[in-house]
Amino acid sequence: MGKVAFVFPGQGSQKVGMGQAIHEADEAARAVFAAADEALGESLSALCFEGPEEQLKLTANTQPAVVTTSIALYRALGEAPDVTAGHSLGEYSAHVAAGTIAFEDAVRLVRRRGQYMQEAVPVGEGAMAAVMKASRETVERVCAETEGVVEAVNYNSPQQIVIAGAAGPVAAASEALKGEGARAMPLPVSAPFHSSLMKPAEECLAPDLAAVSFSEPAFPVYVNVDAAPAASGEAAREALVRQVSRAVRWEETVRHMVEAGVTLFVEVGPGKVLSGLIRRIEKGAARVNVEGPDDLEAARAAIAEHRASG
């Protein structure tokens, strides 16, 4: 029997209007948005549906907005995966799906996570860039040779590695990589996520995570920092702490899931970023997206077919 993995997107997938169609179409989804509004004491749903975009793009708003939209779609889908994972922020959505943490706790945690990340490095002092057409070894070597803080922080696919750090060193490393035949594209982000410059944010978030109840996951949740399932609820908590200032090992995560028998990846949430990465990592793996009510039946059919055919 083929295994089914649900994968949840992170920051960068947000857009004004996300979640509105599923909110209108599905009662379970409406309950998720209502719970988020109550947990935060403000109308996150209005921000998702109507914007303004400038407010939605602020990381302290983006993070709860993406998690809420993803979980609204997950609850509307009404299916459980065999395994799950999320990219960066999406790891919180994966844990909500697996019952490791309560949705309301996750929404409040990622609001604080966004605030701490932005406070760790003032806007303009940090940067991120996507590097294409360079090997892992080349990217890591150039980062090590560059003066100042610049590190590989997202191993997204064989063709894409994201670097982050202080703005000057990121620019210098990008130029050096271009000199070796790579492409490097600055990313429109407000902080150098997953770099060691995020250590202050990690230290702020740790006590907040410690105050929240973590349960044993109902199904395996592959965590970014280990590219492997969290062994327990406590291990899941600890991985979310480490995740803030350490690299996202997405390519390895996908490969390990395939090795464990996953044949279908269902991306649940706004955008199709993860499906594109998975196609580049494992061309043979089937992929389906759940972004709105029109996607639900096709996703359910694909899940049933994979479980039947194996």
Supply the residues annotated as catalytic. 88, 194
* Rounded-to-integer distance, Cα 181 and Cα 85, Å: 33
What is the C-alpha separation between 105 and 240, in angstroms, rounded?
13
The DSSP line for the chain is --EEEEEE--TT---TTTTHHHHHH-HHHHHHHHHHHHHHTS-HHHHHHH--HHHHTSHHHHHHHHHHHHHHHHHHHT---SEEEESTTHHHHHHHHTTSS-HHHHHHHHHHHHHHHHHHS-TTTEEEEEEES--HHHHHHHHHHSSSSEEEEEEEETTEEEEEEEHHHHHHHHHHHHHTT-EEEE---SS-TTSGGGHHHHHHHHHHHHTS-----SS-EEETTTTEE-SSHHHHHHHHHHHTTS-B-HHHHHHHHHHTTEEEEEEESSSSHHHHHHHHH-TTSEEEEESSGGGHHHHHHHHHHHHHH-
